[in-house]
Structure 1
């Protein structure tokens, strides 16, 4: 059975940095994001880790874990949003007190997806893969990003529908700030291997493949146990996105996931847009997707609204999803099914 947290109006957001914090010269980004959250009616509680960054982390692993443990056990906090991802979240997993975590949302992506997937696999509690806090600092959010409160407000047993974006951001332009943070200039087009019209269903799991692959073989990456004990052996629908991997490394990672049994009883795979997929000897991401399709014989969708090429949908680890893609447009219906 899956437990779904509830996002209540006026809830308190706990901001902690389980991976990277924010360097001094960028603290204004945090303060802007806090103001936007308060305008929307939320309260904000800040941890100390968010204000520091050194040696690829906000602070030592135990310090990060203690702060996160405290926020996860605090009844006054209803939602955890890190400022952004980073590099070394995996260091804190062994210090986390999963048994004492209260039923509350954690929202984020990039390195934060290590925490999201570990929490869902270990506890059966749904987690939210979506926007980072600093990306909410704009005067307004695009329609895709702005869905996050609606998704997190969905009640157990109910459904929420999201649609693919109209446009996405090709590259960051920090010298020319946008009122909605992102510069959405390119036409969004969801693509598929083999079929132009695709339907798939299953329990959502996923995140940034660069980092979640390192959960394989650890106590925090037991997908088969999760599938058996929390979702009645229903098929898994994987969503994955590549931040920095070359195509060869992406292929190695996917083969490792397959050999570890992560794709056993899988109903499909979705891949986010990526500007990383660097070809190796003419070996492209599309080649990888075709090989996976031939090996797994399940639908494969790519260039979806997920990951480091914004905007992105809010995907709920553990939710039951029904996904349709036709003529480049996609819809994602998530049901908070226990």
Structure 2
């Protein structure tokens, strides 16, 4: 049965480690991000490798040991990855998954930390959060954030009072704690970060298609400003379904296929027939051709058994070696609109260019939770359900 760790309450300690890269090149931004978490009332504990100026965040064994110390510490209530990167896979043999399973805690990261989140959920049966790293909360010029100097001086501003009845201190780890509340009128650039912080408390905001998104990589933008209309594409007209949510950065997931850290078959066997599966994928930079081949590899490996729907985020860095488009990559892999070789109804309903992954805004995904997905006319809503 899926284990849901305790949600956070004010005063709780968040442990931050560097399973991937260190953040030494962006210390000021990182400290502003930690200021957001402190303003929410949380305490912070960093492991020694977090502030290294290193693409690896230190040696693989050290990174694994530091992760293990956070899970062994009873005072630490949640573990966050400091940053993404490229080399998390090196530390997986040193991660003590048995200990992590015995001491379930929320584990959150984005991009390269997929390599840790995915086996923790699929093999250990513990829910995880994909959407932000500990250094993700710094949007210094966005409309919804006010930052002043000092580690505790950053706050996400909201035009409505924060709900006051978030779940605290529960010990049954069941998702009955999750509360649904749909806020309206929050179109500024930091809403998706506010939603993420609400999830940490056990709240359950409805996530919906953004009106606009930032049309380039965040680190290439002079100012975080949503300037590009958002339209979710699909190979079918409408999708109304539920299923167990699982996925992550597909650039990372493809390297796990067939390894000891590939728990996809275990997860699908455990939940597929009863609940159905909803996969989500964040494509950082796979070309259209590589994306297509990766979908085929996953299909051949049995990942898409019992799949109700697939969600694919906007690709951050698009490229093609043969002229294949991303639309074609999806349609050739799953069938549907525009598919010449296999016309007619799609084999699996797919949405792409969704608000998931490296572009912003992006949604918070809960690996292991039951997800309600509704899509029609280029727009969709997602909400996690009790189970």
**TM-score, with normalisation over the residues of structure 1?**
0.91
Provide the aligned length of Structure 1 versus Structure 2.
Answer: 328
Partner of 1:210: 251
Matched, 1:224 2:269: no
Q: Which of 186, 193, 202 matches 2:228?
A: 186
* Equivalences for residues 111-130 of structure 1 within 5 A: 111-130=112-131
Gaps of 5+ in 2: 140-144, 146-155, 157-188, 336-341
- Alpha-carbon offset, residue 200 of structure 1: 2.6
Q: Tell me how far apart the structure 2 counterparts of residues 322 and 133 of structure 1 sit (CA, whole Å).
A: 27
Partner of 1:248: 289
Q: Tell me how far apart the structure 2 counterparts of residues 253 and 235 of structure 1 sit (CA, whole Å).
A: 21
State the superposition RMSD in angstroms: 2.0
Matched, 1:260 2:309: no
Partner of 1:165: 210
- Alpha-carbon offset, residue 128 of structure 1: 0.5
Q: Tell me how far apart the structure 1 counterparts of residues 386 and 129 of structure 2 sit (CA, whole Å).
A: 12
Partner of 2:347: 297
* Equivalences for residues 55-70 of structure 1 within 5 A: 56-70=55-69
Q: 1:143 to 1:42 in 2, by over 3 A?
A: same
1:116-173 deviation digits (Å, cap 9, x = unpaired) = 1110011100000112222212433611232113223338xxx652222222111246
Q: Tell me how far apart the structure 1 counterparts of residues 376 and 60 of structure 2 sit (CA, whole Å).
A: 45
For the 8 Å contact 2:292–2:330, the answer to whether it is kept is: no
Mean Cα deviation higher: 14-23 or 4-13:
4-13
Structure number with greater Rg is 2
The 3-state SS of whatever aligns with 2:33 is helix
**TM-score, with normalisation over the residues of structure 2?**
0.80
Matched, 1:309 2:308: no
Gaps of 5+ in 1: none
For the 8 Å contact 1:241–1:273, the answer to whether it is kept is: yes
Q: 1:269 to 1:150 in 2, by over 3 A?
A: same
Q: 1:231 to 1:98 in 2, by over 3 A?
A: farther
For the 8 Å contact 1:277–1:284, the answer to whether it is kept is: no
Q: Which of 235, 242, 260 matches 1:201?
A: 242
Partner of 2:199: 151
Q: 1:106 to 1:93 in 2, by over 3 A?
A: same
1:94-119 deviation digits (Å, cap 9, x = unpaired) = 11111112221111210011111110
Q: Tell me how far apart the structure 1 counterparts of residues 271 and 124 of structure 2 sit (CA, whole Å).
A: 9
For the 8 Å contact 1:7–1:149, the answer to whether it is kept is: no
Q: Tell me how far apart the structure 2 counterparts of residues 172 and 227 of structure 1 sit (CA, whole Å).
A: 33
Q: Tell me how far apart the structure 2 counterparts of residues 173 and 132 of structure 1 sit (CA, whole Å).
A: 14
**Greater relative contact order (Cα < 8 A, sep 6+):** 1
